[in-house]
Chains A and B, each alone.
Chain A
Amino acid sequence: MFSMDGQIVIVGGGAAGMESAGQLARSGYHVTLIEKETITGGHVRNWYHLFPDRRDSREVIKYFDDLINHKNITLLTGLKVEGIDKHGMSFIVNTNSGTEIKADAVILSTGFDLFKSERKEEYGYGIYDNVITSADLEVMFRKGEIKLHNGVIPGKIGIIHCVGSRDEKVGNLYCSKLCCVTAVKQAMEIKEILENARVFCFYMDIRMGGALYEELYRESQEKYGINYIRGKVSEVSVNIDNKLVIKAEDTLVGRPLKMELDMLVLMAGMEMSESSKSISESAGLATGENRFFSPADHHFGSNKGNVEGVFYAGTCTAPMNITETISHARAVVSDVIGYMNNGDR
C-alpha cells in the first residue's frame, strides 16, 4: 500500500514528461523529473511554430515551464538514466553519474529521435550542401531567413516526404504520422519568408489525419500555391551549377519528372529514442517491431507495458503530435494514481 508519500520518477523532461509531472504533482504526489539535457522541453524547443494553428512554440514551452514549477516536483537536468531495476514493488533508477534514485512507480517519457537522414544516402544529406532536414529548416525559421550554403536566397525549394518512414530499406515500416502536416506547414512558412519562392512537395500520400490538418492542406494550395507532386524521389544529384537535380516519377501523369532545385528539405521521421535502449533492456520492457514500447493493450492499456509499475507517456510508444502527447500524459497520470492507490492492477 502506498500513501501520498509515494515517490514517482519520470524519465524524460519533454512534453509528456513535464505534463505528467505537473498533473501528478498537483494531485499531491512527489515527482522526480529527470532530463538528460541541461534544459527541459525536448523537441518542442526546436520548433518555431506549431500546427495546426501556427502558434508560437514558446507559448507552449511557457505553459510547460509554469506547470513544472511546483513544490512537489524535483527537477534533475543533465542526468541520463541508464537502467531501471525492480526490487519487489519498488524500483531503483540508475543514472550515468552513478546516482541511484528510489521510486515506487516509474513513468518513461523518453520521447523520440529524429531519423538520421545520412542513412538515406541517395538523398545526399551530408554529401551535398543544400540538402537539409525539417529540423534544420526550423532553425532557419527562428532566425527569420532562409539562405543557401553560399548565402544566396533560394528560388525553388523541394520537400521530400517519408524520409526514414514507410521505408523497408531503412528498417522503419511505420508511418511517422506528423511529417505530412509538418511539410504542409513548413511549405507555407517558406512562402511567408520568401514570397517569390516556389515550393514543391514530393509525396507518396498526403496524410492529414488530425483536427484542422486537411484545412491546412487546402489553404496551402489555395493561398500559398504550394505544388504537390505524387512520386517518391529516388535519388538526388548535383549538376554543374551546383543545383540539386531530383529524379521522380509523376505517378498521376505517368511520366518521369526531372527538376532542378536550389534547396531540398527532407521530412525526417520519428524513431524510438536511442537513449531508452539501455532502459528497456535493463527492465525487460517489450518493444514492437517498430522498436517503440509495446502497450499492454492497444485500446485501454496504451500507457502501460509488460512490467508492473512502469508506465509510458508520449512518443516513446508511437509517433504522436503535441496535443496527443499531452492527452497521453494526462492519461498516464490516471493510471499511476490508480496503481499507487491499489498496489497492483
Chain B
Amino acid sequence: MQFDIFIIPFNIGLYFIIFYAVVRSIRWFRDLSRSDKLRLQRGFFGTPFGQSIKEIFLESLIHRKILKTNFRLGYMHLSLAFGWFLLIFFGTIEADIFGSKHLNAPYKAIFFKFFNPEHGRMGFEAVYSFWMDLILAFILSGLLLALLKRLTPGVVGMKKTTKLKTLDKVALTSLWLIFPSRLLAESFTSGTYGTGSFLTGTLGSFFASFLPVQELAYPFWWLYSLSLGTFFVLLPLTRYMHIPTEIFLIFAKNSGITTGDKLGAFSEMQTYSCSSCGICIDACQLNFSAGINNIQSAYLMKGIRNNQDVSDIAFNCLMCGRCDQKCPVGIELTPIRMIRRRAGESTISEKSIWKKYFPDRQIIPSAKPYIKPSYNWLPGTDPEKTDVLYFAGCMTHLTPAIISSMKKILEASGVNYNFMDEKGGVCCGRPLMLAGQDKEARELINYNSQLIWKSGAKTLVTSCPICYKIFKESYYLDVEVLHHTQFIKNLIEEGSLKLSFLRKRVTYHTPCDLGRGSGVYDEPKVVLNHVTRLQKSDFEDENSLCCGGSLANLKISYRQKKMIARDVAAELTKNNPDILATSCPLCKKTLAAATETKVADIAEIVAEAIVQPVLRKNIPDTFHRIKEPVNLI
C-alpha cells in the first residue's frame, strides 16, 4: 500500500478545496435570480457549453488576453496556470500508466516520484520523465518572473504591482514554495536513486556529490505537501479564489447573464474572479497621470471581498471604461462600481472565520432615499411643436462656439427645429445618476421626457455625449436620439449640407461617453474625413484616452484633472496637428485649457466648411475676426 503520513496535509487541502468549490458554486447558483438560473441551465447544457470550455482553456489557462496586452505578464500567468494544469494532467496519466494500479488517489500522482523512485531510467519512462521535468522547468521560469515582479514591476512591463494584505502574502508564500519544494524533493530523491531527467536528475547528482540527499529528501516532500495543503486551505480567503471562481463565471457570462443594477450572485462572482493581475491599474490614467493609485478596480474588488467601506474608492473614478475594456477576465468593472455608488457608505463588520469562508449574500443597506421630491418646483411645460429638437446640454452653454456652429448647421440644413434649452434647460439627469442618485435623476428624466413628448419631435439631436448616453439608455423615448456628429453625417449623406474641404490636419479625441460609453466611433471620423485630413493616433476607438474632465469623478481636484488633461493633450498633439478635434463640450473645455493647439468641436469644423449661403435668421455673424494691434500714436 503506497502511503506515507506526509501526504495528509495535501489530502486535507485538496478534499477541502473541492468540497468548498462545490458548496460555493451551489450557493451562487441558488442566489441567482430565476431568469438567470434558467439562463445558466441553458448555457450549461446547450451550445454555450462548448464556447465556455474553449474560453476556460484560452483564458483561464493560456491567458490569451493578458498575453496580447502584456506578453511577459501573460507568460507569467500562463506558465503557472497552464503549467500546473499540465503537471496535474500528465502526472495523473503517469501514475495511471506507470503506477501499481490504474485508478489512483490524487496523492499518488502528485507524489509519484516518492512512491516510484526507481522510475524513469530508460525507454518510454525516460521520455516521460523528461516531459515532466520540462513542465516543471516551464512553471519555475514563470515563478522567477513572479518573484522579480514583486521586486521590480518593470520586469513584466508594468509600472506598479498590486498591494497585498497579510493573508494574501501567506498564501503567496505557500504558493511559491510548492514548485521549488517539488523540485528539491524530486531532485534529492533522484540523487539518492540515480534517476531523474535533465532537471531533477542533473540537480540530484549535483547535490548528491556534497549533500546527504537521502536524509534531505523526506523533509522536502513534507514541505511540498504542507505548502500545497496550506495553499488550498487558505485559497478561499485570498485573491486566489479567482482560480475556481473564474470557471463558474465563464459559464455564467456565456449564458448571457449580466451585472444589471443590483448586487447579486453574479456581481459577487465577478468580484471573486478578480486575480489582482494589475492590468486595470496600469491602464488607469488616475494612476499614471495624477499619481492616484489606491482606487483602481482591483482595489475596489478587494475592498468588496473584504467587506470594507468602499465609498471613497467608488466615487474616485473617471468611469472612463478603460479598465473594463482591458480586464482579461472580462469583469464588468464599471457597472459594479455604479452599484456601490448607489449604495453609498457601507458598514465594516468583523467576521468570524466561518463567515469569511461562507459570507452572507452581499446586501448593503443603501442610504435612505429622500422621500419628498427634489425637483417639483420645475415649471410646467408647454413646448412648441417641431420635427427636430436640439438639446445643447448644460456644458455646451459654456462653449458657445459649439452652439453657434450648430445653429448655423441646423439653419443650413433647412430642418424644422427647436432649440430646446436655448434659455437654459433642465439637466439630462446623468450627473445625478453617476453620483448614485437614481431617484432624483428619474425626476429630471420624467420632466425632460414630457417636454420631448409634448413637442411631437421625431428626432432629438444633442451636442453632449453625457446627455446622449442617458437619452439612449434611460429615457425610453420613441424618438430617434442622435449625437450631433451622427446628425451631421446624415445631413452630408442626404446632400443637405454642402461642405468644402479644409486643408487642415486633424487628430480626433474620442469622448469616453460617446466612444466606449455608447459605441459611437465611426460617425465622427466619417464626418472629419469628409472635411479635413484626419490623422491616425495611437489611442483610438476603444483604446482612446479620457480627457480627465469627467463628471463621474467627484473627488479629484481641478489640479489633478489638469495633470491628466495635459498628458492626454500632449499625446494627441505630438504629431502637431492643426486642430485637435473632439465631439464633447466638456472634453473641449478640458483639453483647450491644457494645450496651445487649437481645440475645436466637430460642429465648429463643419460650420467653417459650409459652402451654401447661410439663411439669415437672427444668427449672429459667428466669426468676428480679431483686429491686429494698432499703433495709436
Which residues of A approach B to under 8 Å, CB–CB?
39, 41, 45-48, 57-58, 61, 118-119, 121-122, 124, 126-129, 135-136, 138-139, 142, 149, 168-171, 235-238, 240-242
Contacts of A128 on B, CB cut-off 8 Å? 400, 620, 624
The answer to whether B624 touches A48, judged by C-beta atoms less than 8 angstroms apart, is no
The answer to whether B632 touches A45, judged by C-beta atoms less than 8 angstroms apart, is yes
The answer to whether A136 touches B633, judged by C-beta atoms less than 8 angstroms apart, is no
A48 to B633, CA, bound (A): 9
The answer to whether B623 touches A126, judged by C-beta atoms less than 8 angstroms apart, is yes
Which of these, B398, B403, B618, B631, contacts A45 with CB under 8 Å?
Answer: B631
The answer to whether B633 touches A242, judged by C-beta atoms less than 8 angstroms apart, is no
A170 to B594, CA, bound (A): 9
Question: Given A121-B398, A121-B401, are A45 and B620 neighbors across the interface (CB < 8 Å)?
Answer: no
The answer to whether B632 touches A46, judged by C-beta atoms less than 8 angstroms apart, is yes
Contacts of A127 on B, CB cut-off 8 Å? 400-401, 404, 620, 622-624
Contacts of B624 on A, CB cut-off 8 Å? 126-129, 149
Would you list the 7 A-B pairs with minimal beta carbon distance, nearest first?
Answer: A142-B632, A122-B398, A240-B618, A238-B620, A45-B633, A129-B624, A127-B401
In the complex, whether B626 has a CB less than 8 A from a CB of chain A is: yes
A118 closest partner in B (C-beta): B626
Q: Mark B605-633, 1 if CB is under 8 A from A, else 0.
A: 00000000000001011111011011111
The answer to whether B558 touches A168, judged by C-beta atoms less than 8 angstroms apart, is yes
Question: Given A121-B400, A236-B400, are A61 and B633 neighbors across the interface (CB < 8 Å)?
Answer: yes
Contacts of B627 on A, CB cut-off 8 Å? 136, 139
Contacts of A45 on B, CB cut-off 8 Å? 631-633
Which of these, B404, B618, B621, B630, contacts A139 with CB under 8 Å?
Answer: B630
Contacts of A142 on B, CB cut-off 8 Å? 632
Interface residues of B, dominant DSSP: loop
A242 to B618, CA, bound (A): 7
The answer to whether B631 touches A39, judged by C-beta atoms less than 8 angstroms apart, is yes
Which residue, A47, A127, A171, A240, has most C-beta atoms of chain B within 10 A?
A127
A100 to B558, CA, bound (A): 44
A57 to B626, CA, bound (A): 24
The answer to whether A58 touches B633, judged by C-beta atoms less than 8 angstroms apart, is yes
In the complex, whether B526 has a CB less than 8 A from a CB of chain A is: no
Which residue, B404, B592, B593, B620, has most C-beta atoms of chain A within 10 A?
B620
B402 closest partner in A (C-beta): A121
A124 CB, nearest partner CB in chain B, Å: 5
B187 CB, nearest partner CB in chain A, Å: 61
A141 closest partner in B (C-beta): B632
The answer to whether A242 touches B400, judged by C-beta atoms less than 8 angstroms apart, is no
Question: Given A149-B621, A242-B620, are A235 and B633 neighbors across the interface (CB < 8 Å)?
Answer: no
A65 closest partner in B (C-beta): B633
The answer to whether A135 touches B404, judged by C-beta atoms less than 8 angstroms apart, is no
Known pairs A122-B400, A127-B622, A136-B627 / 12 extra A-B pairs, C-beta < 8 Å: A45-B633, A57-B633, A121-B399, A121-B401, A127-B401, A128-B620, A139-B632, A170-B593, A237-B397, A237-B400, A238-B620, A242-B620
In the complex, whether B458 has a CB less than 8 A from a CB of chain A is: no
In the complex, whether B119 has a CB less than 8 A from a CB of chain A is: no
Which of these, A135, A171, A242, contacts B629 with CB under 8 Å?
Answer: A135
The answer to whether B398 touches A235, judged by C-beta atoms less than 8 angstroms apart, is yes
B396 CB, nearest partner CB in chain A, Å: 11
The answer to whether B632 touches A122, judged by C-beta atoms less than 8 angstroms apart, is no
Question: Given A45-B632, A121-B592, A142-B632, are A129 and B621 neighbors across the interface (CB < 8 Å)?
Answer: yes
A170 closest partner in B (C-beta): B593
The answer to whether B593 touches A171, judged by C-beta atoms less than 8 angstroms apart, is yes
Q: Can you report 29 residue pairs joining A to B where beta carbons are below 8 Å apart?
A: A39-B631, A41-B633, A45-B632, A46-B630, A46-B631, A48-B632, A121-B399, A121-B589, A122-B397, A122-B399, A122-B400, A124-B400, A126-B623, A126-B624, A127-B400, A127-B404, A127-B624, A128-B620, A129-B620, A129-B621, A139-B627, A139-B630, A142-B632, A168-B558, A235-B398, A236-B400, A237-B397, A240-B618, A242-B620
A53 CB, nearest partner CB in chain B, Å: 19
Which of these, B397, B618, B620, B632, contacts A235 with CB under 8 Å?
Answer: B397
B405 closest partner in A (C-beta): A127
A138 to B632, CA, bound (A): 9
B558 closest partner in A (C-beta): A168
B121 CB, nearest partner CB in chain A, Å: 74
B374 CB, nearest partner CB in chain A, Å: 20
Contacts of A41 on B, CB cut-off 8 Å? 633
Contacts of B403 on A, CB cut-off 8 Å? 237
B94 CB, nearest partner CB in chain A, Å: 69
A210 to B67, CA, bound (A): 68
A2 CB, nearest partner CB in chain B, Å: 36
A261 CB, nearest partner CB in chain B, Å: 14
B604 closest partner in A (C-beta): A127
A45 to B399, CA, bound (A): 34
B403 closest partner in A (C-beta): A237
Contacts of B622 on A, CB cut-off 8 Å? 127
B242 CB, nearest partner CB in chain A, Å: 43
A233 CB, nearest partner CB in chain B, Å: 12
Contacts of B401 on A, CB cut-off 8 Å? 121, 127
A168 to B561, CA, bound (A): 12
A168 CB, nearest partner CB in chain B, Å: 6
B633 closest partner in A (C-beta): A45
B358 CB, nearest partner CB in chain A, Å: 51
The answer to whether A46 touches B629, judged by C-beta atoms less than 8 angstroms apart, is yes
A122 to B395, CA, bound (A): 10
A117 closest partner in B (C-beta): B626
